[in-house]
């Protein structure tokens, strides 16, 4: 088992390096530091001196790969690649382009509000999905199942923005149950995060429920279920004892995959509700064209994806030993 | 003077390849039986009708030409909807309103100022007294329905008559009576479809020129016109994006699956690396870079270029999923008996690829094309909100939502902008989902739920 985990981790290494290479190519090669400087400084007819000055302040004046003016190891260490891109590998994100704030400390501080919304949304979502999927699987072939499927497809055809804007209007403005923007610390946060959580769960139901329902139906047509029924077990017992347990295996893989992404928060939800999480951090950076922050978030997102993939594989071998022997 | 914008070319390519596909699929039993199964699904057929309605509006909007006098690029749809395009009010007005939504000050003749809702310049301007509005609208609806019904009957008559004469002209003398007559089902469907087209059209002609059906937005543009114009943008994003990546996905997927070895490893490495970057963030990083240097051409050209680059970038990020699917299927097909048989007969490897493997991948491509479509249309709105969507000068549902997202919070609220955008978007995405599901069930029995 340990050997397998180590092997999987080693396999992830080239992908991390590849991601780093893509980010470097996009942010330093396609988009030259001169262009970044001009965008940040913002004025149309800016002098070359001002651009150079800004570049020197933010370490963008260095050559890309090899600094021929330096001696020894400084030849490699005094470059953009070493200072800006290689550091990402050990999570050294550096300073932002605009306000010179430390990105790592920002990420650490903003992770909590993001998680406070993403985690409950995720857990509640799974609970609701499995409950409804079991009901639909129990009544498969009836009108209830048919209507449920239609409702699912309709709900997934509605734009996510509609859920947010409509939810804010209904609960925030008409019913005045929740505030529609802001954040507070401690228990006061509950007031601000409950509406985003509610909307997040409702917006996710359509697609996820349909997916879960398909898994349940696949499981319910298998031989061991027929055996259980042939033994004379009541349908409820078959569904809860046999079907649920085995349907959790394919569900687990998709669930584990999304766990790391919870740290990133939701781009839209946080931005609409003005919650100081990582999602709104990213959106603000995009709108302000702060390339250093966008770069860091792209890298962080990719690492979380790779971690998710790793966890999925490992959890799969844990719950289904057949995979390990292959 | 006809003018061809970059995305127009892709729409024509899509149209040509779509018709070529239908033409070749008509002769194959596999596709015909799938089509028969889709036909039995009523929801899917209604969806197909709605989708073709959207598609034909987008097509009319695709034929562009340059206006000689002003030098502005217009589409056929712009010309057809000239009254809608030109009847611009001052600011917000509600659907079917005769008065503006916001008060204005007037100085009366006796020197006092009066704050009141002014009459609209175009909406209901033909009415002498605005309280005659309900009567006028009812009259127009009755007129529209009756005109539409007459047109529907005439159209259906012409269509069925020409089919009937076509059959009697070309059927052999000995053919059975049953084959020569038009089935009752065909008559019913023709009538339903022609009613479904002509009545809304007649209602539109009756009402939309004298009223603003969905009101007007902040700067007085007709919201209905904006929603209709957005259809093309939505369809382009949904379809051209996948169209661009299909050749690459087939090429790399088939090569990886068929030849295996180091080529397979390399291609797998590339797509797993690309797919590890969260797609929204990858699109963002690409779009931030593309924004530089788009200064050539006029507004229409620049907006269209940006739309195309958005499609390209979304294509790059969604390429990996299709490639993985195709690789997996090729791996499976490679081991099948008929491919092995062809190999042992000494058939050229390239020929095996083109004759035996690629045609059998078509159903996967078609399914993922349609299932991806709705996701892309929805993604456009999200990208517009983040600020990296289509050009602000281009009409799109995302832009409509983005510019009016605070309107529900203002007092009194303005709901029609958002509702129109969401409604039209829903009207495209729901049929696409329903039709895609039906098609998948028909083409891939293994995936059937």
**pLDDT digit string (tens) for B165-210?**
887 777 665 555 555 566 788 888 888 889 888 888 888 888 888 8
A167 and A199 Cβ atoms separated by less than 8 Å: yes
Please tell me the predicted confidence (pLDDT) of residue B119: 81
Continuous H helices in B64-183: 76-80, 82-86, 133-170, 177-180
Arithmetic mean of pLDDT, B333-360: 88
d(C-alpha B199, C-alpha B177), whole Å: 35
Residues of B with CB under 8 A from a CB of A: 269-270, 272-278, 280-282, 284-286, 288-289, 292, 374, 378, 381-382, 385-388, 401, 405, 408-409, 413, 418, 422, 425-426, 429-430, 432-434, 437, 449
Nearest to A60 by CA among A23, A25, A34: A34
Residues of chain B in contact with residue A154, where contact means CB-CB under 8 angstroms, are 430
Angstrom CA distances, A142 to A81, A137, A146, A239, B127, stand at 62, 10, 7, 17, 54
**Whether A283 and B386 lie within 8 Å, measured CB to CB:** yes
Among left, alpha and beta (phi > 0; psi -120 to 50; other), residue A100 is: left
Phi and psi torsions of B222, nearest 5°: -70, 125
Which residue in the set A159, A267, A295 is minimally distant from B381, CB to CB? A159
B223 CB-side CA count, 13 A = 30
Angstrom CA distances, B223 to A86, A158, A194, B4, B407, stand at 50, 20, 34, 26, 14
Measure CA B167 to chain center.
Answer: 34
Please tell me the predicted confidence (pLDDT) of residue B448: 46
Which of A161, A163, A274 to probe the B interface (max B CBs under 10 A)?
A: A161
- With pLDDT > 70 as the criterion, what percentage of chain A qualifies? 90
Burial class (CB in 10 A: 0-12, 13-18, 19+), A298: buried
| Residue B419 distance to chain A (closest CA, Å) | 9
The angle that helices B416-443 and B29-40 make with each other, rounded to 10 degrees, is: 130
**Whether B430 and A302 lie within 8 Å, measured CB to CB:** no
| Residue B384 distance to chain A (closest CA, Å) | 11
Query: Of A88-92, A107-111, B210-214, B220-224, which gets the smallest average pLDDT?
Result: A88-92
Which residue in the set A153, A282, A294 is minimally distant from B434, CB to CB? A153
Please write the tens of the pLDDT for every residue from B34-92. Answer: 899 898 888 899 999 999 999 999 999 998 888 777 878 888 888 888 888 888 888 88
Q: Is the pLDDT of residue B105 over 90?
A: no
d(C-alpha B340, C-alpha A23), whole Å: 43
**Whether B388 and A268 lie within 8 Å, measured CB to CB:** no
Please write the tens of the pLDDT for every residue from A277-310. Answer: 888 888 888 888 888 888 888 888 898 888 888 8
Continuous H helices in B3-132: 6-25, 29-40, 42-60, 76-80, 82-86
The model carries a pTM of 0.88
ipTM of predicted assembly, 2 dp = 0.86
d(C-alpha B246, C-alpha B267), whole Å: 16
**Whether A268 and B269 lie within 8 Å, measured CB to CB:** no
Q: Is the pLDDT of residue B308 over 60?
A: yes
């Amino acid at each position: 088992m340990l050997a397998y985990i180590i092997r999987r981790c080693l396999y992830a290494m080239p992908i991390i390096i590849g991601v780093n290479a893509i980010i470097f190519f996009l942010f330093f090669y396609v988009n030259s530091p001169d262009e970044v400087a001009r965008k940040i400084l913002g004025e149309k007819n800016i002098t070359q001196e001002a651009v150079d000055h800004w570049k020197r302040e933010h370490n963008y004046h260095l050559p890309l790969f090899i600094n021929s003016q330096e001696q020894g190891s400084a030849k490699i260490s005094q470059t953009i690649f070493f200072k800006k891109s290689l550091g990402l590998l050990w999570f050294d994100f550096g300073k932002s382009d605009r306000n010179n704030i430390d990105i790592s400390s920002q990420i650490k501080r903003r992770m909590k509000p993001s998680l406070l919304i993403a985690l409950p949304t995720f857990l509640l979502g799974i609970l609701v999905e499995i409950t409804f999927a079991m009901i639909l699987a129990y009544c498969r072939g009836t009108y209830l199942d048919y209507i449920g499927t239609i409702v699912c497809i309709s709900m997934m055809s509605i734009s996510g923005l509609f859920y947010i804007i409509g939810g804010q209007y209904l609960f925030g403005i008409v019913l005045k149950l929740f505030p529609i923007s802001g954040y507070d610390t401690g228990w006061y946060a509950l007031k601000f995060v409950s509406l985003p959580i509610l909307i997040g769960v409702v917006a996710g139901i359509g697609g996820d429920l349909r997916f879960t329902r398909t898994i349940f139906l696949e499981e319910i047509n298998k031989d061991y279920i027929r055996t259980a029924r042939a033994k004379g077990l009541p349908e409820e017992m078959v569904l809860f004892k046999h079907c649920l347990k085995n349907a959790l295996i394919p569900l687990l893989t998709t669930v584990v995959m999304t766990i790391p992404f919870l740290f990133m928060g939701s781009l839209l939800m946080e931005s609409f509700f003005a919650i100081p999480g990582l999602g709104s951090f990213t959106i603000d950076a995009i709108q302000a064209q702060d390339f250093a922050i966008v770069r860091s978030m792209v890298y962080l997102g990719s690492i979380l994806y790779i971690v998710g993939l790793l966890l999925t594989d490992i959890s799969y071998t844990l719950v289904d030993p057949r995979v390990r022997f292959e | 003077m006809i003018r061809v914008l970059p995305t127009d070319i892709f729409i024509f390519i899509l149209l040509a390849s779509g018709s070529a596909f239908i033409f070749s699929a008509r002769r194959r039993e596999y596709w015909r039986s799938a089509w028969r199964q889709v036909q039995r699904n009523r929801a899917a057929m209604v969806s197909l009708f709605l989708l073709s309605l959207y598609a034909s509006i987008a097509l009319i909007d695709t034929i562009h030409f340059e206006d000689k006098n002003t030098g502005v690029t217009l589409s056929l749809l712009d010309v057809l909807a000239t009254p809608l395009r030109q009847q611009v009010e001052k600011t917000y007005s509600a659907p079917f309103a005769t008065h503006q939504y916001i008060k204005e000050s007037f100085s009366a003749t006796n020197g006092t100022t009066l704050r009141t809702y002014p009459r609209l310049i175009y909406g209901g301007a033909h009415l002498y007294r605005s309280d005659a509005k309900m009567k006028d609208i009812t009259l127009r609806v009755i007129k529209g329905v009756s005109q539409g019904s007459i047109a529907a009957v005439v159209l259906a008559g012409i269509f069925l008559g020409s089919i009937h004469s076509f059959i009697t002209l070309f059927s052999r003398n000995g053919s059975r009576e049953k084959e020569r007559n038009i089935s009752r089902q065909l008559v019913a469907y023709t009538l339903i479809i022609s009613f479904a087209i002509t009545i809304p059209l007649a209602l539109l002609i009756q009402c939309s020129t004298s009223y603003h059906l969905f009101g007007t937005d902040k700067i007085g543009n007709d919201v209905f016109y904006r929603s209709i114009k957005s259809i093309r943008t939505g369809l382009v994003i949904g379809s051209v994006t996948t169209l661009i990546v299909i050749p690459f996905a087939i090429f790399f997927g088939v090569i990886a699956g068929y030849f295996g070895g180091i080529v397979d490893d390399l291609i797998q490495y590339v797509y797993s690396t690309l797919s590890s970057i969260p797609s929204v963030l990858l699109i963002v990083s690409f779009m931030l870079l593309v924004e530089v240097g788009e200064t050539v051409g006029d507004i229409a050209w620049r907006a269209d270029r940006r739309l195309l680059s958005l499609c390209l970038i979304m294509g790059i990020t969604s390429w990996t999923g299709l490639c993985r699917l195709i690789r997996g299927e090729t791996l499976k097909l490679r081991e099948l008996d008929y491919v092995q048989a062809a190999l042992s007969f000494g058939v050229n490897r390239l020929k095996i690829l083109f004759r035996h493997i690629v045609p059998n991948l078509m159903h996967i491509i078609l399914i993922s094309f349609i299932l991806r479509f709705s996701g892309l249309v929805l993604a456009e709105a999200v990208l517009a909100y983040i600020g990296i969507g289509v050009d602000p000068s281009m009409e799109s549902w995302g832009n409509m939502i983005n510019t009016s997202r605070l309107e529900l919070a203002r007092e009194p609220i303005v709901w029609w902008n958002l509702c129109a955008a969401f409604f039209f978007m829903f009207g495209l995405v729901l049929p696409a989902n329903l039709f895609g599901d039906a098609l998948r069930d028909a083409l891939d029995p293994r995936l059937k739920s």
